[in-house]
Amino acid sequence: MIFTSFEYAGFLAVVVALNWLLPPRARPVLLLVASFAFYATWSVPALAILGAVCAVAWGAGLAIPRLDDGRARLLTGVAVALCASSLGVFKVIESLGFEDPGGFAGQFVVPVGLSFFSFQAISYVVDVRRGDVETHR
């Protein structure tokens, strides 16, 4: 779905209307579902990567405050590494010379906004570890 299409205009109108109609506690869930639905129109495999990054950050955010210092530090490092690896996969494929658009690398186009989502997830995990933000349930 392209931003300048009528499909997007209709999608946006429905999401905005639902956002106004829903109670405040339900709005973040709507926006999450709508974001994932929009992302899926670009690429379902990319949606899986985004979902994995979100799941890692969310799971780490829930677990870190409950762990002792050493384990919390270890989990933070693992979560950061996993979120960053979502970007590294595409760089490795590119550096191995799989750049032909119709071949192997054509299946591995970097998803739109993946670096933003990955760095936001990393920031969230680190902020939870430092105690700067509360865990989102």
Summarize pLDDT for 95-113 with one digit per residue, the tens. 666 555 555 545 555 666 7
57 shares a domain with 12 = no
Give the model's pLDDT for residue 2: 82
Sorting pLDDT into bands at 50, 70 and 90, what band is 76? very high
Question: Which element (helix H / strand E) includes 57?
Answer: helix 44-63
48 shares a domain with 102 = yes
130 shares a domain with 77 = yes
Q: How many distinct structural domains can be found in the chain?
A: 2
CB 86: neighbour CB atoms within 10 A?
A: 20
69 shares a domain with 105 = yes
7 shares a domain with 74 = no
102 shares a domain with 60 = yes
38 shares a domain with 50 = no
Of 90 and 118, more confident: 118
85 shares a domain with 65 = yes
95 shares a domain with 37 = no
Q: Which of 137, 118, 131 minimizes the C-alpha distance to 58?
A: 137
The 10s digit of each residue's pLDDT in 79-97 is: 999 999 988 776 666 666 6
Structural domain of residue 20, as residue ranges? 1-42
